[in-house]
Structure 1
Amino acid sequence: MAFPVPRPQIPRLPTRRIREIPTGQRAVRAARFNVDGNYCLTCGSDKSLKLWNPHRGTLLKTYCGHGYEVLDAAGSCDNSQICSCGADKTVILWDVATGKLVRKFRGHGGKVNCVQFNEESTVIVSGSIDTSIRCWDCRSRTSEPIQILDEAKDGVSSVQVSDHEILSGSVDGRIRRYDLRMGQVFVDFIGSPISSVCWSRDGQCSLSSSLDFTLRLLDKETGELLGDYTGHKNTEYKLDCCFNESDTHVVSGSEDGLVYFWDLVKGSLAVTLPVGKGVVQSVSYHPTQSCLLTATQGVVQLWGDETYEVDTQSAL
């Protein structure tokens, strides 16, 4: 006797505001969960980088070393180090526990918009307004980049890194995927300046956000357009986009103070979150839970679904 296949559960979305954190950083340029979602990083226009336990709303450490505003940051795979970048044209490697600056990398000719570790956290990848992507060896004593990717014709706004690939978005309206094993670059032309790119959780698709207020889902291998998502406002600012933890929805900030969720397959708008009156510039999804960070002006908010409970065991 065959039993019927159980119907899949409807995904729970983080529609409940759990906590609001005034960061004291004037404008928060980016809010990022770490690799396991226990803490987050916020980058501010006050030149500081801050480490938080967002589930408790507690500040753990403040890192100061940039000369101008900090624009992006990322945590290493073992949570022992942080990389950050800013408008001072530098990339900085930090020790999480001590709060000390480990190394400062210089070489970009303009402000550095985005930064990521590779999978082993041995290399930092940064993208700049100077149209280049630079790779920095964390273990080397030299501050020279080990590789420069300069195919972009305008500023690089966003980078994402997998085990052997770099995905980038540029103001020249193109998404570039660098296959480091094959030594090849694949280009998809969007047309409108791109502000954010990211991989799907399964690594088969890429999502891009552009200034024509459209998110586009592309097949990684063929570049085929699988879906587009509209309804939010994005004509001026660099806004983050991402997938939820189960790849069922795509998420974007908006210039109208809302966060938008679309059904990935249907393309329909699922829900909007009323974050605030300012631009929602940064969003970051928890790697395994229905939990979202949003940043607008100087405030970071933590959102969860109806089953969310504060993790009192989360620690640095």
Structure 2
Amino acid sequence: MAFPLPRPAAPELPKKLIRTLDCRQGTVRAVRFSADGHYCITCGSDKTLRLWNPLTGRLLKTYTGHGYEVLDTVGSFDNSQLASCSGDKTVILWDVASGQSVRRFRGHVGKVNCVDFNEESTIVVSGSIDGSARCWDTRSRRANAVQTLSEARDGVSSVRVSPHEIVTGSVDGRVRRYDLRVGKLHSDYIGCPLSNVALSRDGQCVLAASLDSTLRLLDKETGELLGEFTGHEASSYRVECCFSERDTHIVCGSEDGRVCFWDLLEGSKVLELPVGKGVISSLAFHPSAPALLTTHSAAVQLWREESYELEDVTT
């Protein structure tokens, strides 16, 4: 006789503040978890990147080499490299262990807003205010981009890379999906400047944050609008959005110091985190646990579920 499988436990949301990192690098422009979730990377207005243990608050490494504030960063799948972009129009590839820059990519003619690795971390894709997304080969000494995507009519504010696709969000109000298998471009018109895009972990949906204080959930293959989420403030500044570790919730920062959570299926707002005063511009969800990183001015906060107890860790 077969017995039904037990129902999965209800997802827990990160409500409890565990740690606050005083990053000491001016305004923190972006925060990201490493691929395994053990570390986090911050970049700031003081032109540096910093690698942290978020549980202990310990600073592990500082990376310097940009000539202007660093606007975004991302870690490779094996945690051996970082990529960063800056207002100095460059993209830098870093060796995590040594703290040294491995490659510096030039070609954008305006500040570079965003970067992401492909699945194998052999390509870095960057998006710029110059309206282009450029692909850089991390394995060769080639100075020029291996491909330039220049269809945007305004700045590219966000870029995400899946195993065979590049998804960009632009200030011209369009989400563009480049299918690398067949060389085809799909474009979905939102109608309002986009500040951020995110891919669901199952690869089926795109979440777009726009400057009309609305999040839109799109079917990635068809462009169909699956839902709209409101209740946060985002009309003047770039705020980031993401999915929870199990794709059950949508998360977004707000200009009034909150981080908001919505149930993905029901569309209802289920939680507001009062992080601070002012814009919550960057956030990152842990790849496999209910853990959230948020930025507020010069600090980064680590949030966990209410049942979580911080262990005595020293590394």
Per the normalisation by structure 2, the TM-score is: 0.97
CA positional deviation for 1:296 = 1.0
Question: What SS does the aligned partner of 1:215 have?
Answer: strand
Distance 2:311 2:216 in 1: 34
CA positional deviation for 1:11 = 1.2
Distance 2:76 2:158 in 1: 18
Deviation by residue 1:228-258 (Cα, 9 ceiling, x = unmatched): 1000000011111000001010000000000
Matches within 5 A, 1:198-217: 198-217=198-217
The corresponding residue for 2:275 is 275
The corresponding residue for 1:197 is 197
The corresponding residue for 1:34 is 34
Mapped contact 2:56–2:313 kept (Cα < 8 A): no
The corresponding residue for 2:308 is 308
Mapped contact 1:254–1:279 kept (Cα < 8 A): yes
Deviation by residue 1:262-315 (Cα, 9 ceiling, x = unmatched): 000111000000100121000100000000000010000000002324466796
CA positional deviation for 1:5 = 5.4
Question: What SS does the aligned partner of 1:98 have?
Answer: coil
The corresponding residue for 2:137 is 137
Segments of 5+ residues of structure 1 without an aligned counterpart are: none
Matches within 5 A, 1:82-97: 82-97=82-97
Distance 1:5 1:79 in 2: 36
Letter in 1 for 2:231: G
Deviation by residue 1:36-95 (Cα, 9 ceiling, x = unmatched): 100011010011111111111110000010000000000011111000000000000000
Distance 2:71 2:199 in 1: 20
The corresponding residue for 1:249 is 249
Q: State percent identity of aligned pairs.
A: 63
Question: What SS does the aligned partner of 1:280 have?
Answer: coil
Distance 2:84 2:308 in 1: 30
Distance 2:78 2:162 in 1: 16
Letter in 2 for 1:40: C
Matches within 5 A, 1:6-155: 6-155=6-155
Letter in 2 for 1:301: Q
Distance 1:308 1:86 in 2: 36
Segments of 5+ residues of structure 2 without an aligned counterpart are: none
The corresponding residue for 1:169 is 169
Letter in 2 for 1:78: D
Mapped contact 1:263–1:270 kept (Cα < 8 A): yes
CA positional deviation for 1:6 = 3.6
Mapped contact 2:20–2:302 kept (Cα < 8 A): yes
Distance 2:308 2:116 in 1: 29
CA positional deviation for 1:143 = 1.2
- CA 134–271 in structure 1, closer or farther in 2 if over 3 Å, else same: same
Letter in 2 for 1:263: D
- CA 314–95 in structure 1, closer or farther in 2 if over 3 Å, else same: farther
Mapped contact 1:56–1:310 kept (Cα < 8 A): no
Mapped contact 2:90–2:112 kept (Cα < 8 A): yes
Distance 1:3 1:233 in 2: 47
Aligned length: 315
Letter in 1 for 2:61: K
The corresponding residue for 1:261 is 261
Distance 1:234 1:27 in 2: 19
Mapped contact 1:135–1:145 kept (Cα < 8 A): yes
Letter in 2 for 1:81: Q
Letter in 2 for 1:178: Y
Distance 1:205 1:238 in 2: 21
Distance 1:189 1:298 in 2: 35
CA positional deviation for 1:9 = 2.4
Distance 1:314 1:73 in 2: 26
Mapped contact 1:42–1:51 kept (Cα < 8 A): yes
Deviation by residue 1:143-186 (Cα, 9 ceiling, x = unmatched): 11000000000000000001110010000000000001110010
CA positional deviation for 1:98 = 0.4
